[in-house]
Amino acid sequence: MGLDPLGLEFETYSVPEVTDELKDQAGLSYRVTISTSSGKLKIRSPTLQSLKQILEKAKALGDRVVLSKADTRVLALALDLFREGRNPVVVSDDYAVQNVAEAFDIAYQSLATLGIRQKFEWTYYCPACFRRYPEAELEICKVCGTKLKRKPLRKHAARSRYSEKD
């Protein structure tokens, strides 16, 4: 859809099904090649276990949640990354994709928002006592001394879908 991994400050991941779709589009295909060779974009296939869980969840969510093969695999890869202790953000404007991500408590952001901001808003929290720190003025939890972690502020991502229509 035109996302440029080189313009982002994060590691980006995709699945072979997505990059295959871009093969016939010269400009996008070139961007994928540059991004993968520079290490900014990693192409990875999801595990069968995660694929199965995404499909089951989509089915449970009902008829409105129809995922393409590529969408299913992107979500499954996000689930894999989540289990590896990362905080993946699924970039998609697709309502079904966002719904399934939300069901797994995985953050998502629409490409339109990302294109403007090129940045996520973060919330900081203590992984030990779960105290939240909305501002990043501290590195260590005031209460228990654990090093704080950050995750994308999901509330903002969910809300932005509506505010953009104004």
Residues that bind Zn ion in the complex, under the rule CB under 5 A = 126, 128-129, 141, 143-144, 146
Is residue 76 within 8 Å of residue 54, measured between CB atoms? yes
- CB-nearer residue toward Zn ion: 149 or 156: 149
Nearer to Zn ion by Cβ, of 132 and 165: the residue is: 132
Query: Which CB, 54 or 148, lies closer to Zn ion?
Result: 148
CB of 135 to Zn ion, least distance (A): 16
Buried b (16+ CB within 10 A) or exposed e, 100-114: bbbeeebbbbbeebb
Structure tokens, 75? 């979500």
Alpha-carbon dihedral of residues 104, 117, 18, 48, nearest 10 degrees?
-20
Closest contact distance (angstroms) between CB of 127 and Zn ion is 8
CB closer to Zn ion out of 108 and 124:
124
Residue 6 corresponds to which tokens in the numbers above? Answer: 């080189």
